[in-house]
Structure 1
Amino acid sequence: MSNKLVVKNLYKIFGKKPHRGVKLIEQGKSKEEILRENRLTVAVNNANFSVKKGEVFVIMGLSGSGKSTLVRCLNRLLEPTDGEVLLDGKDISKLSPAELREIRRKSMSMVFQNFALLPSRTVLANVEYGLEVQNIPKEERESKALKALKQVGLSGYEHNLPSQLSGGMQQRVGLARALANDPDILLMDEAFSALDPLIRADMQDELLELQEEMQKTIIFITHDLDEALKIGDRILLMKDGKSVQVGTAEEILSNPANDYVRRFVQGVNRSEILTAADVMAKPFTTVGGTQGPRVALKEMREHGLNSILVTEKRRLIGVVHIDDVYKAIEEGKKELNGIIKKDEVKTVYPETSIQDLIEVTASDSLPTAVVNDENKLLGVIVKGSVLEALIPERGEANDS
């Protein structure tokens, strides 16, 4: 998957002569020293990361970590002090005002925490606003706005005012307005933070459903770890303006970069976050249904197995057991087809949570097979790997 956005050595420092702050950082001065001695506030400190096309990239951290400042540097709502922001290889920091306006109108759309809706305009007029600014003809912009409202589940509310909608519905209007421009990148700054917990969870689910359809590149800002783990393909964790760790939820949970990250994630319920894809392993070996029992016996002896999975063109057929293989050899059978147990192997999908896997694997001595929609075998899960995934890191346990 190619990179859509690349950030290199990005700094944002507030105050007079901010470039002096970059030099002080390079000399080893701390954020506190720079503020105390030079009255310069270091908001983003040498950020480096890339965002792949079509992924949900979450930037998270506590209040004051620099995450919202960072996302505003990406579309130059705030001018970076130093560094590069490359969109499809083009440095945004070097664009003229006219070129930058074009980027904001067509390539990057932003969804804000406080909805930022115009109270006197209807829902439809709010969603049309970005297109109207671009002088898109009325018929075309209305068509695009209606399509976006349908995507977010607000068909029928076109003529309502924002004040007549709930908080969750207002945020959907903000999302529809961003989608109407059909941008390459969606920037979502704490987009769900102002919502009640239940509505927030619903919006997270709806965003994931929309993403399956849209496959947009989304950069999502949050201070909520659970939200980051739920929606992020990858996560950038920030502290004091610095990038502390970038990785998938599994990488951050299993291999925290330092004690700060370890403390940050120690309260996470791993059974709700990790999935079958995170703990599955490649099967030691498989055999085909048209292969003979002697081939199966050889593979079973070589790998110390009492049972072996049977596949046909990578699709899972079932399992054969060693006693049945011996019997088939004695009877002179040439194929395994007559002894395959088709209903004994339990199957799950890659996205099945560890929480659900516990019940599936608890009472079964056979490995659980991980398959896709076409029943192709992707991997296997043994009971021990599920239990191991739930055990916190040693350092994490010591911190608690």
Structure 2
Amino acid sequence: MGVTAAVADVSFEVDEGEIFVVMGLSGSGKSTLIRMLNGLLEPTDGSIEVDEVDITAIGGKDLRRLRQEKVSMVFQHFALFPHRTVLENAAYGLETRNVPKQERLAKAKEFLDYVGLAGWEDRYPDQLSGGMQQRVGIARALAAETDILLMDEAFSALDPLIRREMQDLLLDLQGELNKTIVFITHDLNEAMRLGDRIAMLRNGRVMQIGTAEEILTDPANDYVAQFVADVDRTRVLTARSVMETPIAVVEPSGGPRAAVRVMREQQASFTFVVAKDRRLVGVVFAEPAAKAVREGKNTLDGIVEDGFHPVDPDTAVADLFTLSAESPLPVPVTDGSGKLLGVIPRVTLLAALGNLNGNGHTESTEEAGTPTEEDGTGVSTEVNADA
């Protein structure tokens, strides 16, 4: 009666080593949610499990141990101690666990080096820029060596250039350390750049959970579709999402006659040469193949060319246009071992710029009452966050 639920009926799992982004506008319930994930707020219903331990059922010493050993937090406004040096701030999490001084300072220095602050150990927070202060916050969370990082609007207080640098840093660190990260943001571009998966919140409820590509190409409702309408699709869509199955292919043992036949059937002026293990060997063009047939040759020796530039399946569509413009061939997509996964014809690449949101479902986007994230009473919540 007169109570607004800040978070309601939210349920998700976070996989080990995943960056899971919770994204929504002010008042969507993001901060309430992350405070529940580390036990600062208790849901009125539901459970929050970390490694199969329901943290809503523990308290006191057990909850403090979980925060010290399992879950670290990186805050929006850095939360550094102004009277402590950079090194002492980075070592604070280990100090709360009574790690011996020399050991914790050595570990803190290691992670300050990781985040690019070598040589700044003896400075104080007010001597650092905002971006450098946030690096200290990240180093402190990493030095605690917890499996899970909770990052609450961690980069939103930074200017755009430094924010981009911090995003790069986080992705680089994740590539090395493989943490489980729950990242809160109100910025859609940041969410799509960082998130392995994204949960979009509205009025305390989940509108959609999916990868950036899934949300962009198949929005769950009109609200999500309108939210992503202005996103630069070429920066989110990847080669994997637009590639087609290669049809004009021939094996090296097929000979020029087989190559000519494939090109005739597919009405193409070339064919890719693909080994039995699907490894891309080269490309054969129509004129040299026809000449080899007239000369009675039985092999592709001497006419297989390497005039192609394969790309990784995770290459952004934006990075494919130059390659496509410079070559008469479709852009081949290969995996790390050189196996041909697909091709991207120029027409398909251009089509990727069009509106691919035809699968979205309909839902009224008219705003109901917007809850404030600070509503601390009567929160009706169900959260399953197995990290």
Q: TM-score range with shorter-chain normalisation?
A: 0.7 to 0.9
Specify which of 288, 291, 298 is matched with residue 327 of structure 1: 291
Q: Whole-Å Cα distance in 1 between the matches of residues 91 and 326 of structure 2?
A: 56
Contact 1:290/1:337 (<8 A) preserved: no
Structure 2 match to 1:286 = 249
**1:332, distance to aligned residue in structure 2 (A):** 3.2
Look up the match of 2:282: 318
The match for 1:177 is 140
Q: 1:158 aligns with which of 117, 121, 126?
A: 121
User: How far apart, in 2, do the equivalents of 1:50 and 1:238 lie?
Assistant: 15
1:17-56 paired onto structure 2 within 5 Å: 38-56=1-19
Match of 2:102 in 1: 139
- Among residues 52, 55, 76, which one is paired with 1:113 in the alignment? 76
8 A contact 1:189–1:221 mirrored in 2? yes
Matches of 1:109 and 1:89, distance apart in 2? 18
Name the SS for the 2:6 alignment partner.
strand
* CA deviations over 1:4-33 (Å, ceiling 9, x no partner): xxxxxxxxxxxxxxxxxxxxxxxxxxxxxx
Residue of structure 1 equivalent to 2:304:
340
TM superposition shift of 1:299: 4.2
Aligned-residue offset at 1:392: 2.4
Please tell me the residue identity of whatever aligns with 2:101: K
Instruction: Identify the residue that residue 371 of structure 2 maps to in structure 1.
Output: none
Using the alignment, how far apart are the partners of 1:282 and 1:88 within structure 2? Answer: 40
- Give how far 1:373 is off: 4.8
- Please, what TM-score do these two structures have when normalized by structure 2? 0.87
Q: Which runs of 5+ in 2 are unaligned?
A: 366-387
Report the more deviating stretch, 236-245 or 295-304: 295-304
Aligned pairs for 1:1-400 (under 5 A) are: 38-284=1-247, 286-301=249-264, 303-312=266-275, 313-343=277-307, 345-362=308-325, 364-393=327-356
Query: Which protein has greater RCO, CA pairs closer than 8 Å, 6+ apart?
Result: 2
CA distance in 2, matches of 1:110, 1:156: 24
Aligned residues: 359
Query: How far, CA to CA, are the matches of 1:305 and 1:48 in structure 2?
Result: 50
CA contact (8 A) 2:218 2:357 kept: no
Contact preservation (8 Å) 1:129, 1:177: yes
The 8 Å contact of residues 217 and 357 in structure 2, kept in 1 or not, is answered as: no
Structure with greater helix share of residues: 1
Cα-to-partner distance string for 1:56-80 (whole Å, 9 max, x where unaligned): 1110000000011111111211111
Cα separation, partners in 2 of 1:207 and 1:331, compared to 1, 3 Å: same
Q: CA deviation at 1:341?
A: 1.5
Confirm or deny: 8 A CA contact 2:239 2:314 kept in the other structure. yes
Higher strand share: 1
Gaps of 5+ in 1: 1-37
Q: Percent identity?
A: 53
TM-score, normalising length from structure 1?
0.84
Decide whether aligned partners of structure 1 residues 42 and 294 sit closer, same or farther in structure 2, where only a CA change above 3 A counts: same
Partner of 2:372: none
Q: 1:143 to 1:314 in 2, by over 3 A?
A: farther
